[in-house]
Each structure stands twice: as structure tokens, then as C-alpha cells.
Amino acid sequence: MVIDIFIFLAGLLLILISAEVFTNGVEALGHRLNLSTNFTGSVLAAVGTALPETILPIIAIFFFAEGQGHEIGVGAILGAPFMLATLAFPLIGITVLIGHYILKKRPLEINIETVGFRRDIVFFLFAYSIALFIVPFEDHLLRIFTAIFLIGLYILYVVLTLRGESNEMEEVDKVYFAFWSKNPHIAVIILQVVVALVVMITGAHMFVSGVEHISTHFGFPALLFSLLVAPIATELPEKVNSIFWIFRKKDSLAIGNVSGAMVFQSTLPVSFGIVFTEWDITGLALISGIFAIMAGFLALTLSYVEKKLIPFGLTIGGIFYIIYLYMAIKEFL
């Protein structure tokens, strides 16, 4: 039990440290490559921090027993966008409220580049709706074409984000892997990003392992753990990165890190699940998808209102997670 607690805390510490190093590296890389704020946050940062929860279903589907592995894999694929929409966005809202009312270190409003944000959410709502409601379950060939369509949709999204209008990345004060240099080589910046990602993924898996053993020790149902606890852990990188960026008043990067990850998770991992599993989405799995879409639509609606109301609205989105938590506990306990 003591070892499990140590693994849990060590994993959390690794995530926190690597998230700081990763955000620093991504900002420097975006500036060096002359990329926009939207592309840096919604593509570079989002794809990088989405790796932990993307790897998990692949391992589950290919290396676990077919029935259990497919169930865990589909749960992990659906859990990622659900947690992003119902936990990551509310955490951003709560962070803004804390930064303004308690710490007095930032304004109440969230300053986002609305064109890029709306593009992210629209792509997410469209792709995820196809995955949940339109995928043909019986004809495998049609499922393959659906998966190809979703992959193509993500490629289109990346191209539009790259070409879209957005602010340029600001130059960072220093790169941690070359703190002595004002103009480090791009290879050093890329190395910092890659190392931070590896440490982040390692920390996420340690965190999941520690929480899993602790929950088992206290008699927490394994299935309930896989639905509610594991996705929170694997989404920690996005959450921590966004919190760091919010405190630094880099709102577009913070929001883009989450909204971009939602687009990625609703296309590429979903395509994998459609082709390699039964993809029979029912019960709590379907409810989690519906709640993710509702939370995403709420976030999209908020982008059209006054900026000072957005933090409160994003925080309210957490109600979907609380309702889902109650439904899951009621069913399994």
C-alpha cells in the first residue's frame, strides 16, 4: 500500500514537472517555426498531450483478451473526449475564477481567438456525432470507409488550422534545456519536447497504476475505475498544461490545447475503434458521448457571449461529469 501511494505521488510529480517543461518547449518550437498560436496549441500541444490516452486503447485492444480488451479500449476512446469536455474545460473556468478572485493575478475574462476555437468545436461535434450515431455497425467495408473519412477530416482540420488567421507565438524567455543560450538550436528544443512527452506518458501510467492498486485495496470496482478514474489520469497532461497557460494569461494556448485534443480524440482514435472493435456503443458509454457533445455545444455557444461570462459557463459544464458520476456509481455499487 505504501509503495502504491509512492508510485501515485511520483507519477503526479512527473506529470507536473514534465508539463511545465513541455509547455516551455512547445512555445519555443512554435515561435522558432513561425507557427500561429492556434496551430501551436490546437495541433502541436494537443496531439502531444493526447498520446497517453491514445496509446492505452491500442494496447488494450491488441494485447488483452478480446472481450475485455475491446471493452476497455472502447471505454478509453470514448472517455477521452468526455473528460476533456466535462472536466478539462470546467477546470480552465475554475482556474480563471481562482486567478481573478483569490490570487488577484489575472482578469476575469478568457481571451480566446474565437475563429480557431469555433473551428475546433465544430469539427469535434461533427466527427463525434458521426462516430456515435451514423457509423454502420454491420458492414465492415463501410466502417473502414467511415474511419478513412474521419482521418481525412482531421487532415483537413490540420490544414485549415495551419492556414487560418491567428496571432504569432511570442518568444519565450528561455528554453530549459538550454537556459544559458538566448538562441538555442532547434534540435535542442525538439529534444526538450520529446523528453517531456516521454516523462509525461511515464508519469501518467504510474499515476494510473498507483490509483488502480489503491482503489482495489479499498474495494473500488475495477470497471468503475476504468470508466471514471483512469481517463482522468490520462487526461492530466492537457489539464495541467492548460492551467499553467491560464495563469500566464496565454488563454488561446490553454483553450486550444483542450479543444484541439477533442478534435484529435474524436477522429484518429475513434477511427481505430471503429475498424478494430465491435463499436457497439450503448448504455453508459453512449451517455458519456452524448454528454461530451452537449458540453462541447455549450462551449461553442459561450464563444458568442461576453468574455467575462465564459469562465462561469465553462465551470458549469462540469455538471455533466457530476451527473455521469452519479449514474455510474448508482449502476455499479
Q: How far apart are CA 156 and CA 146, in angstroms?
A: 15
Confidence band for 111, pLDDT divided at 50, 70 and 90 = confident
What is the arithmetic mean of pLDDT over 128-157? Answer: 87
Q: What is the pLDDT of residues 43-54, one digit of tens each?
A: 888 887 777 677
Q: Does pLDDT of 69 surpass 60? A: no
Q: Which helix (H) or strand (E) holds 244?
A: helix 236-247
State the Cα angle at 67 between 63 and 73, rounded to 5°: 60
Q: Which of 284, 304, 288, 282 is nearest to 82 (CA)?
A: 288
* pTM of the predicted protein model: 0.86
Q: What is the pLDDT of residues 274-313, one digit of tens each?
A: 888 888 888 888 899 999 999 999 999 988 887 777 888 8
Q: What is the pLDDT of residues 203-256, one digit of tens each?
A: 877 776 776 677 667 666 555 665 666 667 667 777 888 888 898 888 888 999
pLDDT value at position 64? 57
Q: How far apart are CA 256 and CA 258, in angstroms?
A: 5
Q: Does pLDDT of 163 surpass 70? A: yes
Q: Which residue has the higher pLDDT, 125 or 215?
A: 125
pLDDT value at position 80? 86
Domains with residue ranges and CATH for the chain: 2-332 (1.20.1420.30)
Q: Does pLDDT of 24 surpass 70? A: yes
